[in-house]
Structure 1
């Protein structure tokens, strides 16, 4: 397995290099940060000094090689806005993002798996139609719409929950449920479809023929095997989830990495944007690797090559 992990990491290096190139070039298409950070009437000497201080006076190719060399050392440079290392700003905001992502993951698994099992077990019942309708609606509605709608209902009308900020579990409820809407629907639908396929397998019919109770057959034979693709999907979705926090954190003013990315984009803060984009790319790559490994561990038919 160690050899497989090493090969997979080596395979991802070209992708990570392409991401480095993309985020380096695209951030420079947003405009000159000098126009944003210095007054309109700033002298040419002041503008040139700002460029020299931040390495913006060098040729683009040289800037890229300097940028790549620093990234290899874990240094994305100093934020143009906060005058602090970009990595330090990212690390400072990371706990809030992880808190939101893990709460979303927990909601999706704790609610989605039982809902999918119930929907499959009571197939074509009113419960099944309700679960399928809710999950289809959850996947169709954009996250930002859920966020705004939940703020209007639970914060403005009912005044039950705070709409912005962090610090308590009450601040976490609305962002976590909003971000979980799409992932919860996906987990429920995958659990339902895989369980319906599993209960038609020969080993499930054999277990029934041996006289086992329906719940024993369902939980100990069907559900255990149906969980394999669900766990894989959850691992894959964690990388997508970390990228999806940008919209949710912006809507709820959650002080995480996603909100930091939006602020950095508006401010043309190249080092911070590059650090956040590269961080999300690494998380996505690692979540894909984790999904492959988890699938291989849970399913002995899979061989790592």
Structure 2
């Protein structure tokens, strides 16, 4: 029990439990806080009183609030998220059929973001070290600020117009082929790549100014060994701490981009559910996406613990 990893895991599990409690309470209150009568909204403005009563009973809105929350929590624990109003399918089945597509898109985007942003940020910092090549630093800052400010849906539409409509090189929708992933992944990844690359560039600049880096350069180590063995581990701690938040927010961009590219994931389904007021599906998707974001942050914390043992006790700095 004195092991740093034991205390680390306990803290993270407590934090994850807190996130789950907030998610469950938040998704439950989504229906309760809807202005007006949720049953009337679901049934439609021209629904008969009998239909409204049936919908109210189906939603459990005729029960006391605490009983509603207990039933909702019990359903989540048993993987019963209710049935879709639109199709009658169990929500858990709807999510299970859509989640692999969203996970595929999100995982590919996360890998692409890390593979581009970390080397790019380090390369710019090394090239501009000591005030050299100020034009390159200015160009990098301007380009990443510009492209990072473009919303995912705008960038997605632009990519469709250029590569699908004008050039005809890539499909603009669906998930029938591997090439159909290229445009959605690019649309999701551009913003996080720009943001994380700026963070890596700043952290690399700080690391390169440390005494141990001057000592390592004095030993005339090869550049690849110098930067990967001495610089990279020391900038990963702060980079991954902020990068975890960026990667978790990437899921929100994935949801929006899926609708633009007609990608058969959770994003397309939740937007159609919002339009049709399919509240069980909305609650289930929000719950799953929130859980995925929490899991991503947990995995980032584990990676931090493996790369810098001081983070296990909440203490980190440069080595």
* Structure 2 CA distance for aligned equivalents of residues 155 and 18 of structure 1: 41
SS in 1 for 2:313: coil
Alignment counterpart, residue 17 of structure 1, candidates 17, 21, 29: 21
Alignment counterpart, residue 287 of structure 2, candidates 249, 254, 278: 278
- How far is the alpha carbon of 1:149 from its aligned partner? 1.4
**How many pairs align?**
305
Moved more, 94-103 or 275-284: 275-284
* Structure 2 CA distance for aligned equivalents of residues 67 and 284 of structure 1: 22
1:95 is matched with: 100
Alignment counterpart, residue 303 of structure 2, candidates 276, 288, 294: 294
Q: What are the ranges of 5 or more consecutive residues in structure 1 without an aligned counterpart?
A: none
- How far is the alpha carbon of 1:37 from its aligned partner? 6.0
- 1:166 is the counterpart of 2:211: no
Moved more, 87-96 or 10-19: 10-19
TM norm structure 1: 0.89
- 1:45 is the counterpart of 2:45: no
* Structure 2 CA distance for aligned equivalents of residues 65 and 49 of structure 1: 21
8 Å CA contact 1:97–1:256 kept in 2: the answer is: yes
8 Å CA contact 1:27–1:268 kept in 2: the answer is: no
Following TM superposition, where does structure 1 have runs of at least 4 consecutive aligned residues deviating by more than 6 angstroms?
Answer: none
* C-alpha RMSD over aligned residues: 2.4
Alignment counterpart, residue 4 of structure 1, candidates 8, 12, 17: 8
Q: What are the ranges of 5 or more consecutive residues in structure 2 without an aligned counterpart?
A: 315-319
Moved more, 205-214 or 30-39: 30-39
- How far is the alpha carbon of 1:214 from its aligned partner? 4.2
1:170-214 Cα deviation digits (max 9, x unpaired): 211111001001111122112211111111111111112223344
- How far is the alpha carbon of 1:150 from its aligned partner? 1.3
- 1:304 is the counterpart of 2:313: yes
Q: How does 1:1-305 map to 2 (within 5 A)?
A: 1-28=5-32, 29=34, 42-123=47-128, 124-125=132-133, 126-304=135-313
* Structure 1 CA distance for aligned equivalents of residues 36 and 169 of structure 2: 43
* Structure 1 CA distance for aligned equivalents of residues 37 and 185 of structure 2: 36
